[in-house]
Amino acid sequence: FIRFYWRKNTMRTLCLSLVLAACVSLSWAGGVVVETIPVAGTSGWKVSNDRLSFVVLSVGATIHSLSVPDRTGKLNDVVLGFADAEDYKKQGPYFGAIVGRVANRMSTGKFEIDGKQYQVSLNDGQNSLHGGVEGFDKKTWTVEEASDGVVLTLESKDGQEGYPGNVKIRAHYSLKGATLTVKMTAKTDAPTPVSLAQHTYFNLAGHASGSVLGAKLRVEATGYMPVDSSSIPTRQVVPLSEHPHMDFSDTHSVGDKMNDMAKKRGLDVVYDPETCTIKKHLVTGEGEEAAKGPGGAASGAPLGFDHNYVLKKPSLFLRLLAALSRGFLRPVRKVATVTDPTSGTQMQVMSDAPGVQLYTGNFLNGERGKGGVIYEQHGGLCLETQTFPDSVGADPASDIGKGATAILQPGQTYRHVVMYKFGTVDSDK
């Protein structure tokens, strides 16, 4: 009897332990399901849990779709994208992609390493944008499934687009609760600049809902970098207190601030909050130079935000942890919050990057997207966490020195983390 009782209870204990272990394992993975699905004329990797889901494509390591619940529980796909995967290679909005080898603009496409000058490909007038003619957004990445998402890898060969060194890039897309995390790393066998950015266009009301000008935005920044008529930064950092029309340190609607920007530049623009559209776009006669300014009627650049914001520094504690871990632990802090008043959907962006490029889809011009939706100007909003644009080789003591794109050396690892946390707010927020 004693032996039978012991065996029975041992088996019961063993079974209970296995059940508990399974529960702990499920909890640790967050109940994440990873599956391959047919999408956009190709195969995609769908990552989902009971909170949200997203689909990644191998071309460009692209976030093709991202479904999150609004305040009523309805799921909305909140990112812009093409219906056909081939369009990501052919067209240039960079929908959902990881861009590089150097994100954002590089004036004349030139930089210097150890006294040697390099010329990379030009694809934005006389400048290089997001890595050149065939940047990482046009490449086909290798995809592997992970317990919490997918891992994508890419090798950029020495000389591609004019950049030196063979660079191996890794991007880990993971899902935990209502947070999508993207961890990017890179290693090289020769000195080279590396600065990666995730270039998803968000419209929290749904990708087919039209303009984002009604969205409420807050950016945790202290300054921004003005740009010239070709959107190249002046390499100066201006305190937001000096240019209130650029200031999102308190929450404002994007459209209201765009009105302030336009008036500052000599334009008479009337933003209609009911339709979230720009009703008029006329020069007021306040001066020819104002009209030629960035975004002005004579500048050739469409109206809107396309600027790097200089973010508040991480806390001393986070910086100390990063230093003690030799960079393995990243000083991630909140950098921006976007809220759509109609759906109640809110997104918090967190990152370890020194800057974030606010881009309001100024160059969108009738691209045909998923479901045949036409994406018009200001149909999406990007918050591209990054090192500062056009900063390769910047003087460390200059305004942009501490946020500049560093030269990655052999034996070093480039790291960049960005996180998107979703939730909802009440209608009166």
Which of 361, 374, 244 is CA-nearest to residue 304? 361
> Is 199 considered catalytic here?
yes
Question: Which residue is catalytic, options 199, 307, 378, 416?
Answer: 199
> Is 384 considered catalytic here?
yes
Convert 236-255 to b/e letters by CB count within 10 Å (16 or more is b): ebeebeeeeebbbbeebbbb
Q: Counting Cβ atoms within 10 Å, is residue 283 exposed (0-12), middle (13-18) or buried (19+)?
A: middle
Question: Could you give the CA distance from residue 11 to residue 8 in angstroms, rounded to a whole number?
Answer: 5
- Token pair 């070093």: residue: 412
Question: Which residue is catalytic, options 161, 307, 384, 416?
Answer: 384
**Which residues are part of the catalytic machinery?**
199, 384
